Amino acid sequence: MSGIEGKVVAITGASSGIGAATALLLAERGAKVVLGARGSDRLAALAARIAAAGGEAAYARTDVKRRDDLSDLVKLAYERYGKLDALVNNAGIGPISPLDDLRVEEWEEMIDINIKGVLYGIAAALPVFRKQGFGHFVNIASTAGHIIRPNMSVYSGTKFAVRAISEGLRQEAGNKLRVTIISPGFVRTDIVETVTNPQVKTQLVESLDKFAMPPDAIARAIAFAIEQPADVDVNEIIVRPTAQG
């Protein structure tokens, strides 16, 4: 029996990319997954795929900019399965651009999704974890939360914030709750589609084709953290493509 079998795991941004890969892997290993994302049709298709393979999945349309949506996702997990072992705060966007572009609305969207979305997830799950006496936050940051590059100022700022919030949460969590930061490098996902600066987007697509990792690489890192015994807290995992500088 794996350390994942029977666990109930909620995942935001679950309809594609890292979220979908994580849902498939955890379900394959015996977890009950509760999927949240904005695309209901894609969620339904993913849940059906998991069920067809013999797994268990529930889903709810979830916009992490809405605190009530996160509360409803956690509530669905608890009411459907009687507990929540882990919340994977995965939803994020990355419309990077030079600050001179003044794409202020995109800055605000990154703050709302990448930072406030994580905080809303914490606010929804923390009382449940305290009541249960166990629980695990897995917060998806980025290598951009370690190193700042041109055009990535605001995105990096949001990911530095995720790491800071997560580390503070870990220190406050006590000896019953676990907190893991996953910092991926360049991953082959549709996050590039959120980039609206044509030059930056072209550069990203070229890099994507050359060396980006598959989302499965990050799913395996998430699974590794979740499957550890309750007295082992994997604090941070950084996963880069071998060719990434």
Record the tokens describing residue 29, joined without a space.
């290993």
Looking at this protein, which amino acid is placed at residue 148? I
- DSSP letter at 187? B
What pLDDT is attached to residue 206?
A: 86
The string of pLDDT tens digits covering residues 19-33 is 999 999 999 999 999
User: How much is the pTM?
Assistant: 0.95
Strand partners, 10: 34, 87
CA distance 82 to 74: 11
Which range (37-46, 174-183, 192-201, 230-239) has the least confidence? 192-201
CA distance 211 to 105: 30
147 closest CA partner among 156, 134, 136, 135? 156
pLDDT-based confidence at 190, cuts 50/70/90?
Answer: confident
Looking at this protein, which amino acid is placed at residue 147? I
Architecture of domain 8-239: 3-Layer(aba) Sandwich (3.40)
Q: Do the beta carbons of residue 138 and residue 89 sit within 8 Å?
A: yes
Q: Three-class SS of residue 4?
A: coil
- Helix H or strand E encompassing 87: strand 86-89
CA distance 229 to 186: 29
Q: Do the beta carbons of residue 173 and residue 183 sit within 8 Å?
A: no
Q: CB neighbours (10 Å) of residue 16?
A: 17
pLDDT-based confidence at 192, cuts 50/70/90?
Answer: confident
Please name the residue that has the structure tokens 């998430």.
222
Domain residue spans in the chain? 8-239
Q: Do the beta carbons of residue 94 and residue 151 sit within 8 Å?
A: no
CA distance 87 to 77: 10
Active-site entry in 59, 78, 120, 155: 155
Verify whether residue 81 is a known catalytic residue. Answer: no
What pLDDT is attached to residue 216?
A: 97
The string of pLDDT tens digits covering residues 146-189 is 999 999 999 999 999 999 999 999 999 999 999 999 999 999 98
Count of alpha carbons within 13 angstroms of residue 198, beta-carbon side: 0
CA distance 56 to 234: 26
